[in-house]
Amino acid sequence: MWLINKILAVSAVCCIFCANADILSAKNRVARLMDPVVGIVVVDSNSSDNSDNNGDKVDGSGFIVDETGFILTNCHVVDGADRIEVVIHDGSKYIAKLVGKDSRSDTALLKIDVDRKLPTVTFANSDNIDVTTPVYAVGNPFGFGTSVTAGIISSKVRNLPSQMGDIKNDVPFLQTDAAINYGNSGGPLYTYDGEVVGMVTVFVSDGMQNTGISFAIPSNLLQKAVTQLRNFGKLRRSWVGITAVPLDRDVESALGLGKRCGYAIVAVEKASPADLAGIQEDDILLSINNEDIEENTNVDYMLANLPLDKVIPMVVMRSGHEMNFNVRVGIKEEDDSIVSQESAPKKEIAYQKIDSIPVGVADLTSDLRKRFGIPSQLEGVMIANVGKRPSEMSIGNVILRVNQKKISNVTDLINEMGSITSSKAAKVALYVYDPNRQPQRFYVVFRLMYATPKK
C-alpha cells in the first residue's frame, strides 16, 4: 500500500510539472508571436477624427515580414494617409514609407528604416489549413496595445457581400470565430504552431459588439502580395479576358452536366487571350489549368492567379459538347470599372403567353431595342410580361437560349419549349440577358408542371 501511495504521489507531481511546463511553453510561444506585430497610427490632414496621441489615431495593426523593416497591413488601414507611424513591440516609433498597396485584395506593404534586425513572422500554407484548426488573432484592438484572442477556422473560401467596400471576390477569405474588433485590421492570424495563416481584414458587427464572424486574407495570397508589392508597388494579376458566374445545381442538372460543376461565361473581352483562343460567350467553363471546377471553387481567384505568360488548358461545354482550348495567360495591369446603366421605361408591350414558363414574350424590334438598351447584334426574345410565379427575370430582359439552344424569335422559343415538354423533362434552363445588372447574363431554371391525366 505504501508503494502504491508513493507511485501515485510521484505521478501527481509529474502531472503538475507537465501541466506547468505546457503552460510555460504556451506563454513563451504566444510572447514570440506578439513580437513581430506592430501598431499603425495614421494621420490624415483631411480628417477631423485623429483624436488620440496629439492628433493621431491608432487605426490598425500590421506584422513584420522582413527583418530589415518591411511590414504588411491592410490597404484600408493606410489608404489616404499623409503620414504613417509604426509602433513596434518595444514601444519604438518609426515613420513608415508606403511601398505599395492593392485595394482589390486589401493589402499594403510598408517600410521603416531600422539599424537592427527585427523579429519576423513565418507563413503557413493556407491551402493545407482545415476547418476547426485552432488559431490566435494578434492585434491592437481600440488602440489598447497588442492583444491576443483565440478561436478556430470556421470556414474557408468565403466571399464577402458586395456592399463591404472594394474588396473583390478573387480573395478566398478564411472565416474565424476569434474575437476581432476595431484596430485588429492588418494583424496576423496564427496557427498554434506559430505560423501566419492569414491577415485579419473584416469583422461583421451589429454596431454594439463583436459577433464572432471575422475574415482573414489567406497566407498564400499574402506571400504573393509581399513579393509583388515589394518589386512592383502593386499586384500583377493574370488575365484571360472572361467574366464567369456560378451555376446552381438546378441549372447544372438542366444543362446536362450531371455531377460536374460549371461557371457560365457571360462576357469575353475582344482580342483577349480567351477570345484569341476561341472561347465564346455562353460557353460553360468546366476546368482551368487542369483543375476541375467544384462546388466550393473560387473561380475569380483562380483566374487572377494563373501563371503569367504561360499557356494553360481550359475546358468548356458548348451546345452540349466539351471543347478544349489552350490559352496564353496575360497580365492585368489595372481593374476595369463597371459602368451602370439606367433602367429604361418599361411600358406595356403586346406579348404572347407561354404556358410552360411564367412570362409573356415578344419579338425584338428596333423600337424595343432602343427603349430597353438591347444591343443590335443580340438575338433572342424580349420578356414583355412577368407572371405571378417568382423569378429573377423582369420586363426588358431577353431570353437568349433554352437549354443551350439559341433562339432568335418567339416561334423558336415555342418550338423549343414544345420539344422539352413533349419529352416530359422536369425542368428547363433559360439563359437571360438583363442590361441593368452585373453581370448582364445569367441562368434561370423553371420546374415544369404537367397536368395529371384524367382516369
As annotated, the active-site residues are: 76, 106, 185
- What's the gap between Cα 275 and its chain centre? 25
Got the DSSP string for 130-162? PTT-EEEEEE-GGGS--EEEEEEEEEEEEPPPT
Give the residue from 277, 262, 268, 267 showing the smallest Cα distance to 329.
277
Q: How far apart are CA 419 and CA 432, in angstroms?
A: 20
Would you say 81 and 49 are in contact if contact means Cβ atoms under 8 Å apart?
A: no
HSE of 424 in the Cβ direction (CA atoms, 13 Å)?
2
Q: How far is CA 37 from CA 96, 121, 438, in A?
A: 15, 9, 40
DSSP conformation class of 194: S
As given in the structure block, the three cell numbers for residue 121 are 513572422
Would you say 283 and 267 are in contact if contact means Cβ atoms under 8 Å apart?
A: no
Q: How far is CA 430 from CA 136, 254, 359, 417, in A?
A: 47, 10, 12, 10
As given in the structure block, the three cell numbers for residue 17 are 510539472
Give the residue from 172, 214, 180, 170 showing the smallest Cα distance to 60.
180
User: CB under 8 Å to 102, separation ≥6 — which residues?
Assistant: 75, 108, 225, 229, 234, 235
Q: How far apart are CA 366 and CA 374, in angstroms?
A: 9
DSSP conformation class of 127: G
Give the residue from 394, 441, 435, 417 showing the smallest Cα distance to 283.
441
Q: How far apart are CA 38 and CA 140, in angstroms?
A: 8
Q: How far apart are CA 200 and CA 190, in angstroms?
A: 10
Q: How far apart are CA 8 and CA 16, in angstroms?
A: 12
DSSP conformation class of 128: G
Is residue 12 helix, strand or coil? helix
172 prior amide bond cis, ω within 30: no
Phi, psi of 231 (to 5 degrees): -85, -35
Would you say 50 and 87 are in contact if contact means Cβ atoms under 8 Å apart?
A: no
